Amino acid sequence: MTNIKERFLNGEFGEIYQSDALAKLKERVEQRKEFKKRKENMGKIDKNSKFYKPPTLEERLENIKYFFLFWRGRKRGMIFTRNIELDDFRYIFFPKGFEKYGYLGTHLWNEEGDYFNALYPLVLAMDYEAKPKFCPRWFLRFLHVFGSDKSIVRVRNWTLHNLLRKLTKGIAFVDWKTKWHSYDLRISIHGPKHLQNLAEDIEGGFYSRGRQEEIVAEIMKLDPKASIIWGSIDRLEKQLEKLEAEKEKRDKQLDSLVQQANDKLRK
């Protein structure tokens, strides 16, 4: 098999194969260069593009108006930005509790309960990775309000928005929610691999603890004196299945005894 492979690669077909592989490699390199170029130019206006239309005088005056009325939001079709309020300045300079990490885009409004306790370590780790040592958090919150419109989907000012992304290395807390059960936590973030792994571990641990508590509650209904060993969903499920099988067996025996007693009474 090796000789056939060597003859194939060293022969006429080998040159075709190698040239084809080289062409594919060059194509992939060009695609990566193009992707990198697009990523660097994201948010920038290409004035040489055939789709570019220079702003009219009316649009320029509108931009100048909003430069002075910087607190006013804009609206174009279904896209809009919010009005800057006094509470936004309070959020920037005098944040309350967890709001100091708001530049990450976090959505933990209630600083109590299981969800906050589960997600809080992740936010601390993200803040450690995202915040530059030379940059105060109030400045990042300022960019979050005036650049990203205090949102993860809107952009109020591309320059400030891109500066925030550059300073925080693109790290952001996108969303969190529960799916099928209250303990089925789903976390979405932008960040390096180790932060993604941390988020997955939190999801898995939260699900495991929630599912175990649910199974234990069902076990205690069947046997209030049952011995519980925490730590494994499979072990608790087997314990529950065993108790359910024993209950089903007792119910069948009881039904059989009742049936026998009824038969005797009829005789």
Instruction: State pLDDT tens for residues 150-162.
Output: 888 888 888 889 9
Most confident of 136-140, 224-228, 243-247: 136-140
For the entire predicted model, the pTM comes to 0.66
| Residue 267 confidence class, pLDDT cut points 50, 70, 90 | low
| Residue 135 confidence class, pLDDT cut points 50, 70, 90 | very high
Question: Closest by alpha carbon to 235, among 224, 219, 223, 248?
Answer: 219
Query: What CA–CA distance (Å, rounded) separates 211 from 215?
Result: 6
Q: Is 129 exposed, middle or buried, given 0-12, 13-18 or 19+ CB atoms closer than 10 A?
A: middle
In single-letter form, the type of residue at position 156 comes to R
Domain ranges of the chain: 56-94+132-167, 107-131+171-262
Instruction: Identify the DSSP state of 113.
Output: S
| Residue 56 confidence class, pLDDT cut points 50, 70, 90 | confident
Residue 19 predicted with pLDDT over 80 = no
Whole-number percent of the chain with pLDDT over 70:
77
